[in-house]
Structure formats: C-alpha cells, structure tokens
Amino acid sequence: MKNSCKRFGCRFAVTSGMQCDNCKGWFHEAYTDLSATAYNRLSKSNHRWECVTCSTDAAVLLSNIIVLLTGLQKESFQQLALYFEILHDPVKRKEYDQKWKAKREAIKRMESMDSSRRKLKEELEAREAAAMALRKRQFETVAKQQAADQIRRDWERHTEEMKWQAERKRKSANEETDDVKFKCTKSDQAVVRVSFNPFLELLLICYLQFGDVIAFVIGKRGSAIAEFSTYNEAKKAIKASERGAVGLPSLPLQLSWLSTSNTNVVSDSINVKDKQVEKDKFMYEPTPNNKLS
C-alpha cells in the first residue's frame, strides 16, 4: 500500500516508512553536511550491513541517531534548531534550496571556468615558450653574425699588419744592402762579395786560409761581404773560388769582386807599377862592361 511522504510539502508516494528517499537525503544533508548521493551510498551500505548481520530491527538505526544527537555540541544543536525551523517554514526552505542550488551552480561554473582558464594558461605558456625560442634563435643568429664580423675585421687587420711588416722588412733590407754597398765601395779594393749564407764561423775559417779578414758583413739575402788586408789575398780567394776550393765540396762558395771598375783600375795600376819597377831595375842593373870600366 502506497502512502504519501510525511514531510511537509512533499507529495511523493512511499511504499513504506515515513519519508521518501529525496526527503531523507535532504534531511541528512541538512543535518550532517552530506550530499544526497553520499546519503544514498550510506543508506545502501547500512542496508548491506543489516542484511549481513540479519538485523531488521529499526531500533538499531534509532539508537545510532540518538547517540549521534547526544554527542553534538551546543553550536551543532543551534544549527540543528535553525535547520528544523527551515524545515518547517516553506518560505525559508525555498530560500535555502535556492541558495544551495546557486551554490552548486557556482561550483560548476567555477569548475568550467577553471578548465577554460587552464586551457588559456596552457595556450599562453605555449605561446610564451615559442616566443622565447624565437628570441633565443634571433639572439644566437645575431651573436654568430657579430662573431663572424669580428673575425673578419681581425683577419683584415692581421693581413694588413703582416703586409706592413713585410714591406717594412723589405725596405729595411734594401736600405741595409744599399748602406753596405756604399760603405764598401768607399773603402779600398780588397773587398769580396759572397752569394751564400752559411754559418759565420765557417765563413771566417774559409776566408782566414787566404789571409787576414779586416771586416766581415752578412746580409739577409744569403750574401756576405769580406774585406781582406791586401789585394793579393782577395785575388787569391777569388781564384780559389773559381776552382771550387772555397767552402764545402758539396756546396762551394762563389766569390766575386764588389765592383769591377775598382779591380780593373787597381790591376792596371799594379801592372804599370810592375812595369815601372822592371824598367828601373833594367836601367840600374850593372852590366859587365860597366863593371870592367
């Protein structure tokens, strides 16, 4: 037999008991801060427990409720009194229902907003990461370009400096050779030029076997200038170099006069002096006729 629910304002029909399931859930939610689904789960678990223990007596459930009510504090009792007043006042109950409905809708709306905010946050983070990666690539590109420009400028400066140093060395070498030639041509005729660049000791040893060396200069182009004390020593060294007897057998030294004009003049003057000496000797040499007379 179906009866109506005993809750005020409820018109649901129930087969047994005093209240329908919705009213039971609402009552339990109001007094224990549990939702209807939690109450249904609790009722189902209690029903299973009753089935297991085979106790269908309603006094067990009533005793549990009494124990729960007696253990509440004064604040909870005042809250229960307020809920009881709301329960029996249809206007307050309607306001309370609207309040809870608005609260649930606000919770759902916040959850949806949280999901949309989460998506928006993920999208913004992705955009920010892409922008940071782009800025990093641009920075690396600019840094590489600047490094390449710096290397190119350094290389150009280095090449210019090397060219300048080479030109300076060439000019200094030309000036040195010019100075050496000028100084040597101003001196006497016993000066010899060497087109070889061995060690200084070896050159001195090679020259000292022909006579005394007064001055000796080595150039940067593999040539040297030696000044002997007499003309005959220099001439002897040049003749020996023509035979290949100066220096190493595998790499002989090539000797030549520093200037051919001086050598010709000197040789002519020497020949003239020799002829004059021979003539004088011939003129003053005593003859047998002169001795006898």
Q: What confidence tens digit (pLDDT) does each residue in 215-264 have?
A: 777 776 667 788 888 888 888 888 888 887 777 777 777 788 876 554 54
b/e map of 254-291 (b: 16 or more CB within 10 Å)?
ebebbeeebbeebeeeeeeeeeeeeeeeeeeeeeeeee
Domain ranges of the chain: 3-88, 109-186, 187-284
More confident residue, 139 or 287: 139
pLDDT given for residue 71 in this prediction: 57
Q: Are 247 and 240 in contact (CB under 8 A)?
A: no
**pLDDT score, position 223:** 74
Q: For 30-39, 64-73, 233-242, which range has the lowest pLDDT when averaged over its residues?
A: 30-39
**pLDDT at site 137:** 92
- The pTM of this model reads 0.26
Residue 86 or residue 165, greater confidence: 165
Evaluate if residue 187 carries a pLDDT over 50.
no
Model confidence band, residue 282 (pLDDT cutoffs 50, 70, 90):
very low
**What mean pLDDT do residues 17-45 have?**
51
CA 276 remoteness from chain centre: 89
pLDDT beyond 70 at 210: yes
Say what the pLDDT of residue 22 is.
52
Whole-number Å distance between alpha carbons of 255 and 233: 13
Higher pLDDT among residues 105 and 219, named by residue: 105
Quick one: 187-284 is in which CATH superfamily?
Answer: RRM (RNA recognition motif) domain (3.30.70.330)
pLDDT at position 108: 86
Q: Measure CA of the first residue to CA of the last residue in the chain; give whole Å.
A: 203
Could you tell me the two tokens for 49? Answer: 């427990």
Q: What is the mean pLDDT of residues 140-160?
A: 90
Mean pLDDT of the chain: 67
Q: What's the pLDDT score for residue 195?
A: 45
- Other CB atoms within a 10 A radius of the CB of residue 187 amount to 14
Greater pLDDT, 210 or 185 = 210
Q: Is 219 exposed, middle or buried (0-12, 13-18, 19+ CB in 10 A)?
A: middle
